[in-house]
């Protein structure tokens, strides 16, 4: 069971590093790992795009001290939701 979790965490890590809101992912691959467990918990719990976007906005503002563009967290939430849907479909169980 752990290997599936590792695959899911790695996929989510890749998405967060591609987003790279503070611009350090090329040098620090685990910079956004603080968001992995909370995001996976929300996704597994059925969170929608709005809830994921609100979480990302909160993290950017309160944890990283950034003021994101209005659409930035929501656009990333949309990408995360698309990835989550595809990961669940590829898994064949409906659960990633």
- Least confident residue range of 19-33, 53-67, 77-91: 77-91
Backbone φ, ψ for residue 71 (5° rounding):
-95, -5
Q: Averaged over 72-96, what is the pLDDT?
A: 84
Q: Are 31 and 24 in contact (CB under 8 A)?
A: yes
Q: Averaged over 32-55, what is the pLDDT?
A: 96
Residue 2 — very low, low, confident or very high, per pLDDT cuts 50/70/90?
very low
pLDDT greater than 80 at residue 93: no
Q: Specify the pLDDT at position 21.
A: 92
Residue 3 — very low, low, confident or very high, per pLDDT cuts 50/70/90?
very low
Tokens of 49: 């795009």
pLDDT greater than 70 at residue 34: yes
Q: What does the CA dihedral 62, 64, 65, 69 come to, rounded to 10 degrees?
A: -90
């Amino acid at each position: 069971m752990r290997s599936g979790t590792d695959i899911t965490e790695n996929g989510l890590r890749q998405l967060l590093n591609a987003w790279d809101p503070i611009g350090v992912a090329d040098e620090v691959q685990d910079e956004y790992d603080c968001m992995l467990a909370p995001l996976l918990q929300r996704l597994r719990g059925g969170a929608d795009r709005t809830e994921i976007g609100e979480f990302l906005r909160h993290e950017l503002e309160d944890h990283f001290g950034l003021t994101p563009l209005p659409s930035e967290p929501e656009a990333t939430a949309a990408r995360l939701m698309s990835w989550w849907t595809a990961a669940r479909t590829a898994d064949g169980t409906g659960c990633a």
